[in-house]
A and B are shown apart, each in its own frame.
Chain A
Amino acid sequence: SQQGEEDPQALSIQEGENATMNCSYKTSINNLQWYRQNSGRGLVHLILIRSNEREKHSGRLRVTLDTSKKSSSLLITASRAADTASYFCATGLYSGGGADGLTFGKGTHLIIQP
């Protein structure tokens, strides 16, 4: 079953606007990660936030985590056409060792209109 569920499934905005995507999950986690996928191929790791962190920044990306609500958001500021991609959240249950497979959601497809 899916652990992370992204919302919305699709998002279309104008270049320069901010894009916000949300992720909800069901069980306790060790960390939550966001990935980008272009053209249905390999995923690129964007950012990892641990369960004891509330907010993290990386360039134009801002990620928040609310463990009480079991939700996370990814904000992309000043969007560019090159940001057009699918964005996935993935939850990690363990800090290390054992079965460490991340569980991915179905993704949000983001389209940036020029």
Chain B
Amino acid sequence: GAGVSQSPSNKVTEKGKDVELRCDPISGHTALYWYRQRLGQGLEFLIYFQGNSAPDKSGLPSDRFSAERTGESVSTLTIQRTQQEDSAVYLCASSFPGDRGYGYTFGSGTRLTVV
């Protein structure tokens, strides 16, 4: 597709359950990023993938969060044993490697609500 696709767009889950969020980046974008945005707040960096290099996981808030990416395609962000503070919009973005001046292309996000 032409843009970054995220699914589901909305997810309501019970506290303690696991959730899996999916991101399909733009073809050719080797860099992929996950961010979290709580209501009324800025974007919080979670994890960064670049090609086949080891991902930068420095932003993951706890060991309940993990992410995988298969090659240079789909990525999944998994949150285990969800807590209410995990409620947020999870945004995925992709870009060309390095600085080509185009910035990031964001998906529409997954709005996660933990009840």
Contacts and interface: CB of A to CB of B under 8 A. Distances in A.
| Pair from one complex | yes
Interface of A: 2, 30-31, 33, 35, 40-45, 48, 50, 88, 90, 92, 94-97, 99-107
Contacts of B97: 96-97
Contact of B59 (A31, A35, A101): A101
A48 B104 CA distance: 10
Interface string B26-42: 00000101010101011
Contacts, number: 74
9 contacts: A2-B42, A40-B39, A40-B109, A43-B104, A88-B42, A97-B50, A99-B58, A100-B50, A105-B42
A104 to B, nearest CB: 4
> For the complex, would chain A's binding face be called helix, strand, loop or mixed by DSSP majority?
loop
A44 B98 contact: no
Interface in B58-115: 58-59, 89, 91, 93, 97-99, 101-109
Residue of B37, B41, B58, B97 ringed by the most chain A CB atoms within 10 A: B37
A90 to B, nearest CB: 8
Interface of B: 4, 31, 33, 35, 37, 39, 41-43, 45, 48, 50, 56, 58-59, 89, 91, 93, 97-99, 101-109
B42 A40 contact: no
B42 A41 contact: no
B103 A96 contact: no
A42 B108 contact: yes
B59 A42 contact: no
Listed from nearest, the 8 A-B pairs whose CB atoms lie closest are A96-B98, A45-B103, A106-B42, A104-B43, A42-B106, A99-B56, A42-B108, A43-B106
Contacts of B35: 104
